Amino acid sequence: MDHVTEQHPTVKCLVWDLDNTLWRGTLLEGDEVEIPPAIRDVVVELDSRGILQSVASRNDHTHAWERLEKLGLAEYFVLPRIGWGAKSASVRAIADELNFAPSAVAFIDDQPTERAEVEFHLPDVRCYPAEDALSLPTRPEFSPTVVTHDARRRREMYQAGFRREAERSEHSGTDEEFLRSLSLELRIEHAGDEEISRVEELTLRTSQMNATGVHYSDADLRSLIEDERHEVLVASLTDRFGPHGAIGVILLERRPDAHHIKLLATSCRVVSFGVGAALLRWLTDEAARAGTALTAAFRRTERNRMMEVAYRFAGFEDAPGRPDPAEDGVQTLLLKPSRQSAPPHLKVVAPRLFSPGRELVEWGAADG
């Protein structure tokens, strides 16, 4: 079986069988199962690359999970499915809850019949025999080209998200009360070498909350960082459950008469936290502080209606004149800014735009 094709990109989640795959022995037969050090190393290495891992096993859930905890590896596995149903149903449920296509998921099991059952029902899932486990980190489909800071803590971010959503579903108050309870902190920082790959990914993959739909390459972004007329900013979000990671990018140009937003893109998964509106309010306040207008590039696409609504709600209007002839279909929106304050449910920590230093300050703290 050829595991690497254009239709089968880098694996995002590896689902492990337990008996005689992750550990040696059969738990229900009374074996004192153990995980070989080399297998443990594979789990830790894949986790460090941002590849999520889960479990699909025919076992008693309580007994198996207690054993994983005792062996010190339970924390590495998200959304485990341990029970008596078909392995394909378990793998499908894991993929669905993670919102991953089957082609982004892999499955490893010592039993040919179990692999065949998964391959029959989920032909896009890549299946591996247990004896291939030690070779997985050397395979291209388990070797992302770039491993970002966010990738290295991807599991932590997903686990925080599961806890957050569980509490949201149990919360009996208003949405505003729930948001205030999260202790949300939005950090806006200048992008450096560490953040460039994540910023490029956001411009490429974010479509609904992308103001122009333009993709900026690694080279484009690095050239803008070196240009004193531009600011390349990355936004990240954390709360009391843990990190959301990098969730937004701003490309800003200093023009003679305005701060010009060349690109504003945010991840759709943080729309409910009001991040897009907060970023626009902060940019508005910075422009008002500098005594200049705020303009924004916007190109309507089939998917970014939400971004247009955000700009209009913030007070942007069509600027006089035709769309920028250098960028087909891009129109310029204009706002005459006034001072703003941070949203009550968000602590915002950010730099002063186009200032010599890169010190971060809390928006609104000791403000003059």
- For 35-87, write each residue's pLDDT tens digit: 999 999 999 999 999 999 999 999 999 999 999 999 999 999 999 999 999 99
CA distance 341 to 92: 45
Q: Supply φ then ψ for residue 197, to 5 degrees.
A: -65, -40
**Dihedral sign computed on CA atoms, order 137, 143, 146, 147:** negative
pLDDT grade, residue 5 (50/70/90)? very low
CA distance 250 to 233: 5
How large is the average pLDDT for residues 110-132? 97
SS3 321: coil
**What's the gap between Cα 255 and its chain centre?**
32
For the chain, the domains span: 13-142, 173-362
CATH-assigned architecture of domain 173-362? 3-Layer(aba) Sandwich (3.40)
**What's the gap between Cα 344 and its chain centre?**
24
How far, CA to CA in Å, does 316 sit from each of 276, 296, 298, 329, 336? 14, 8, 11, 18, 8
Among 3.90.180.10, 3.90.340.10, 3.30.565.10, 3.40.50.1000, name the CATH number for the domain at 13-142: 3.40.50.1000
Fold agreement (13-142, 173-362): no
Per-residue burial over 250-261, b if 16 or more Cβ lie within 10 Å, else e, is: bbbbbeeebbbb
Residue type, 267: S
> According to the model, what pLDDT value does residue 202 have?
65
Higher pLDDT, 131 or 214: 131
> According to the model, what pLDDT value does residue 192 have?
78
pLDDT grade, residue 367 (50/70/90)? low
| CB hemisphere CA count around 54 (13 angstroms) | 25
**H or E element that contains 222:** helix 218-225
- Strands 317-318 and 258-266, by their bridges, are unpaired
Residue type, 148: T
**Nearest alpha-carbon partner for 344 in 237, 188, 189, 184:** 184
> According to the model, what pLDDT value does residue 225 have?
83
Whether the per-residue pLDDT at 211 is higher than 80: the answer is no
**What's the gap between Cα 81 and its chain centre?**
24
Question: Six-digit token pair at 279?
Answer: 């970023």
**Nearest alpha-carbon partner for 338 in 280, 297, 296:** 280
- Total-model pTM: 0.77
**H or E element that contains 146:** none
| Cross-strand bridge partners of residue 332 | 297
